[in-house]
Homo-oligomer: A and B are copies of this chain.
Amino acid sequence: MSATIKDIARETGFSTATVSRVLSGKTGFFSSKTAVIVNETAAKLGYKKNMAATELVTQKSNVIAVIVNSTKTNFSDQIISGIQKKADEAEKRVIILYAGDRDERAQKIALSTALERPILGILLLAVDLFPSNLEILTFSNTPFYFISISFKNNKLNYISSNDQEIGYQATKYLITQGHKNIGIAGLNITNSAHTGALRFKGYQKALHEAGILFKPDWLQTGDYSYKSGITALQKYYLKKDVTAVIAASDLVGIGILNECSRLKISVPTELSIITTDGTSLCELVRPQLSSITQDFYRMGYLGTTYLINSVQSNAYTNIVISQRQSVKKFNDFDH
């Protein structure tokens, strides 16, 4: 077992109170001579503060628990970077907990692990909590914020992109490039977190404004996965109707891209693709995928700021269009 303040107290002859004050920098309660002695002894004994004890007595904690899906949401890293940055600035610590992949039990374990010890609060990264688990969380009185997920219900705090705007901007961009038959693929529009529904709404709005009549085949729902991209493209291929498609995630985009490659459909010459997310994956594939790029880093940074300052409010982070190589102007004369 590691040395405790009692050991230091015994060794130096001071009381544990004085040792504690020196070690936790409660200046004004001890002479500098005392401080030197205590600190030296602490170093000599290899003293490590026992945070469990501290948190027990102070009833507060400096650790933020971050709960993430183990599913390959490849943007989590960016969010976590933002979280780490802000946490570091505020002298807070962060621990990350994996909550499985839409796994009720795993979610519950992660939640318990967090709630069963003193923490500052919880940040949930793109995790769509099961109702039972959401109840546990709300009932616990621990502050929490959802990141990269929004809710109709404004009772819950979240920091995310404006998903309707994502759908709208993506669609509008393709329209300005001359496209009229525009698919939207890989998204889930029934989800309780309604990310997909909002994007679809924005998509429809843009279509409507441009006087384009939506055709049901253009919507290919999915679960934001690589596989969703593949099956979506296969559907589009049957009709040979759409000239551009909005992918619900970078992985969906790559699924579409690779299936195009298999079917000898040239991107962007025959089909334009714009994805949603804009992580580094977009620049790893050829052609590079154009994207609606979300500011994941900022989501993490802002969410952490809100948590630390107890800001009871929602926020949207900016989105931006990153033009790369997968969208081409559509010109009727070409056909």
User: Which residues of A line the B interface, CB within 8 A?
Assistant: 1-2, 46, 48-53, 55-56, 59, 63, 70, 72, 77, 80-81, 84, 88, 93-98, 100, 106, 109, 113, 115-118, 139-141, 226, 254, 258, 261, 280-281, 284-286
**Most chain B CB inside 10 Å of its own CB: which residue of A52, A88, A254:** A52
Beyond A1-B59, A80-B70, whether A284 also contacts B286 by CB under 8 A is no
- B261/A116 in contact, CB under 8 A: no
Bound: A285/B287 CA distance, A: 10
- Nearest CB of chain B from residue A114's CB, rounded to whole Å: 9
- Nearest CB of chain B from residue A288's CB, rounded to whole Å: 9
- Nearest CB of chain B from residue A94's CB, rounded to whole Å: 7
Query: Using Cβ atoms and an 8 Å threshold, which residues of chain B touch A117?
Result: 50-52
- Nearest CB of chain B from residue A265's CB, rounded to whole Å: 13
Bound: A1/B97 CA distance, A: 23
**What are 18 A-B contacts defined by CB distance under 8 Å?**
A2-B141, A48-B140, A50-B117, A51-B117, A52-B117, A53-B56, A63-B113, A84-B100, A84-B106, A93-B109, A93-B113, A94-B97, A95-B97, A95-B113, A96-B97, A284-B285, A285-B285, A286-B286
- A96/B95 in contact, CB under 8 A: yes
Bound: A97/B94 CA distance, A: 7
- Nearest CB of chain B from residue A133's CB, rounded to whole Å: 14
- B93/A96 in contact, CB under 8 A: no
Tell me the dominant secondary structure on chain A's binding face: mixed
Bound: A97/B65 CA distance, A: 10
Q: 6 closest Cβ contacts across the A-B interface?
A: A96-B96, A52-B52, A95-B95, A51-B116, A51-B117, A93-B113
- Nearest CB of chain B from residue A215's CB, rounded to whole Å: 30
- Nearest CB of chain B from residue A76's CB, rounded to whole Å: 10
Query: Using Cβ atoms and an 8 Å threshold, which residues of chain B touch A106?
Result: 84, 88
Beyond A48-B115, A139-B46, A141-B2, whether A70 also contacts B84 by CB under 8 A is yes
Query: Using Cβ atoms and an 8 Å threshold, which residues of chain B touch A59?
Result: 1
Q: Which of B2, B49, B52, B72 contacts A77 (CB 8 A)?
A: B72
- B95/A52 in contact, CB under 8 A: no
Query: Using Cβ atoms and an 8 Å threshold, which residues of chain B touch A80?
Result: 70, 98
Beyond A95-B96, A141-B2, whether A88 also contacts B116 by CB under 8 A is no
Query: Using Cβ atoms and an 8 Å threshold, which residues of chain B touch A140?
Result: 2, 46, 48
Query: Using Cβ atoms and an 8 Å threshold, which residues of chain B touch A49?
Result: 116
Bound: A232/B70 CA distance, A: 33
Q: In the complex, what residue of chain B is closest to A61 when comparing beta carbons?
A: B52
- Nearest CB of chain B from residue A184's CB, rounded to whole Å: 22
- B81/A70 in contact, CB under 8 A: yes
Bound: A94/B254 CA distance, A: 32
- A118/B70 in contact, CB under 8 A: no
